[in-house]
């Protein structure tokens, strides 16, 4: 009998609910109200998330985001700014007890272990994915997934993005560029360093097929069985509260 984890697919939500729900699941897990969980989700409207230590004003072109109806939010995890396009990427979270056999005290080792589920899933689709320290997954030398991890309340929380299709020009409309003169150069540099599943495979990958492959990748790599489940009333209540009080607040999003 393999170990059972909960699988959540929360579909399309706004940035503030998405990040609030991640933290709500962490809190529920820390109180032992829910099992270890893997969650898939997407962002509607599209959004930019920045790392815990980044400055919103320095990283995000707020005026451009407001004009395009794109949300901007600070994550509870470190790392860099990510543009979460509604159609362009799939986001996942892993919420697991710190004492689980998969978790090392060493962050770098834990990134490698938790990313191995994604790597295996992507390989099953024909994408030659490899883990690249510190926190990336690459295919043919180009980044296809970025990941970020934090710990607290005795729970490990890792979330990350898997690029389905990528539009570097749009990326630099929402992210700040140091000067207009180098915008084109930055776009070309992203084109050289970043890829997507559709680019690698030369076909349109559906979210269903991608999620199915990743589910298999996580199950085989972690030695677990993912049981489709739903969020609890406790998680929903906490998420709604955190959305209003924390993630949608200017105080949180502009704190650095």
Partner 1 sequence: MLGRAAYKVKGGKLIKVQLTSEGKKIKNIKITGDFFLHPEEVIDDIEQTLEGHLLDEQELSRLIRAVLASKNAVSLGVSPEDFARCIMMACEKNE
Beta strands 129-132; 89-97: pairing state? unpaired
Q: Of residues 2, 55, 86, 104, which one binds partner 1 by CB under 8 A?
A: 55
Shortest Cβ distance from residue 50 to partner 1 (Å)?
9
Q: Which of 6, 76, 164, 243: binder of partner 1 (CB under 8 A)?
A: 76
- Report the SS3 class of residue 244: helix
| 3 state SS for 98-143 | CCCCCCCCCHHHHHHHHHHHHHHHHHHCCCCEEEECCCEEEECCEE
Which of 7, 25, 81, 95 touches partner 1 by CB under 8 A? 81
Q: Does 150 bind partner 1 (CB under 8 A)?
A: yes
189 binds partner 1 (CB under 8 A): no
Instruction: Please tell me whether residue 152 binds partner 1 under the rule CB under 8 A.
Output: yes
45, 51, 168, 229: which one binds partner 1 (CB under 8 A): 51
141 near partner 1, judged by CB under 8 A: no
CB of 196 to partner 1, least distance (A): 21
Q: Is 112 in the site for partner 1 (CB under 8 A)?
A: no
Contact 94, 158 (CB under 8 A): yes
DSSP three-state, residue 193: helix
Of these, 53, 101, 201, 241, which contacts partner 1 (CB under 8 A)? 53
Among 35, 103, 107, 165, binds partner 1 (CB under 8 A): 107
141: alpha, beta or left? (left if phi > 0; alpha if psi -120 to 50)? left
In Å, what is the CA distance from 198 to each residue of 164, 165, 207? Answer: 6, 6, 11
Residues contacting residue 181 through CB under 8 Å, at least 6 positions apart: none
Instruction: Using CB under 8 A, list all residues that contact partner 1.
Output: 51-55, 58, 76-81, 107-108, 134-135, 148-152, 256
């Amino acid at each position: 009998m393999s170990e059972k984890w909960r699988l959540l697919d929360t579909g399309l939500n706004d940035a503030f609910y998405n990040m609030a729900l991640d933290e709500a699941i962490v809190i529920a897990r820390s109180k032992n109200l829910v099992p270890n969980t893997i969650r898939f989700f997407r962002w509607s409207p599209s959004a930019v998330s920045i790392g815990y230590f980044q400055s919103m004003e320095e990283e995000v072109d707020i005026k451009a985001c407001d004009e395009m109806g794109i949300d901007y939010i600070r994550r509870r995890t470190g790392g860099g700014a990510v543009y979460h396009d509604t159609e362009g990427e799939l986001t996942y979270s892993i919420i697991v007890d710190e004492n689980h056999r998969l978790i090392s005290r060493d962050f770098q080792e834990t990134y490698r272990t938790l990313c191995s589920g994604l790597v295996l899933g992507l390989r099953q689709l024909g994408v030659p994915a490899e883990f690249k320290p510190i926190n990336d997954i690459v295919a043919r030398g180009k980044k296809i997934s970025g990941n970020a991890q934090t710990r607290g309340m005795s729970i490990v929380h890792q979330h990350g993005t898997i690029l389905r299709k990528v539009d570097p020009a749009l990326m630099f409309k929402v992210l700040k560029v140091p000067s207009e003169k180098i915008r084109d150069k930055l776009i070309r540099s992203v084109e050289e360093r970043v890829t997507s599943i559709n680019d690698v495979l030369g076909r349109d990958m559906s979210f269903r097929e991608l999620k199915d492959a990743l589910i298999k990748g996580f199950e085989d790599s972690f030695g677990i069985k993912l049981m489709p489940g739903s969020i609890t009333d406790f998680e929903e209540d906490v998420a709604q509260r955190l959305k209003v009080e924390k993630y949608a607040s200017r105080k949180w999003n502009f704190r650095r």
